[in-house]
Amino acid sequence: MGRQLARSRQNFDCRAARVSAVADYPHPLNPGRSANMRANRRKDTKPELALRRALHAQGYRYRKDYRLELAGARVRPDIAFTARRVAVFVDGCFWHCCPEHGSQPANNTWYWEPKLARNVERDRAADAALDAAGWSVVRVWEHESLEAAVAAVVTVLAETGLPRPKAGPPKAGPGKGGPPGADPPRAERPGAERQIVEAEPVN
């Protein structure tokens, strides 16, 4: 009987915690704002995809959204060069409090201020954990030009001392040395960089 009572109290506490969490979640200003927030993606954002494609076109191979189990932290770089031990993050201006374009919402500040502050704290904790594990960290803002982002990443990759890879050959196809209608090689098909498995020590 005592065990059943304890279990009932535990279940009640869990339900109360869930209700409290729902009650503490802010109500959206309007349906449009709610739809915009739901459309935000944790990975594969447009700036991230553009950077990955540009690096892939230069011959670099990497892992995307790669989970690293480090001492005291679990980190998921947007792009990870495991042979070179370089972690790249493409940070959204709103979510990571960009000093140029970051803004604090005027509504539901009780919710957003601590949430955004925690995001920044997690970023710094991830940087520290990666540094302690011997990784170099590159963070680029989503507002930066693609050229600047690529240059920042390539500069750090060059500092690792491994040779720079050669860009891949041109796609085969009509007028490009391949039979009419031929498909390009698998690694050069659109979106192929999303399934890249890094080869040591090419990158």
88, β-bridge pairs = 79, 138
pLDDT band for position 112 (cuts 50, 70, 90): confident
Beta bridge partners of residue 81, listed in sequence order: 86
Please report the pLDDT score of residue 200 as a whole number: 41
Burial of 92 from C-beta contacts in 10 A (0-12 / 13-18 / 19+): buried
The conformation of residue 91, written as its DSSP 8-state character, comes to E
Is the predicted pLDDT of residue 142 greater than 90, yes or no?
Answer: yes
Q: Which fold has domain 40-166+190-203?
A: Endonuclease; Chain A (3.40.960)
- Helices 46-57 and 146-158 sit at what angle, rounded to 10 degrees? 50
Residues 189-203 have a mean pLDDT of 42
Of 17-21, 45-49, 59-63, 69-73, minimum mean pLDDT range: 17-21
3-state secondary structure of 19: helix
Question: Domain extents for the chain?
Answer: 40-166+190-203
Alpha carbon 54 to chain centroid, angstroms: 16
Q: What is the pTM of this model?
A: 0.66
Phi, psi of 180 (to 5 degrees): -55, 130
Average pLDDT, the chain: 74
**Exposed e or buried b per residue across 143-169, where buried means at least 16 C-beta atoms within 10 angstroms of its C-beta:** ebeeeebbebbbebbeeeeeeeeeeee
- pLDDT classification of 171: cutoffs 50, 70, 90: low
DSSP designation for 30: S
Q: Provide CB contacts within 8 A for 4, sequence distance 6+.
A: none
The mean-pLDDT minimum among 104-108, 119-123, 151-155, 199-203 falls in 199-203
If you ran DSSP here, which 8-state letter would residue 88 be given?
A: E
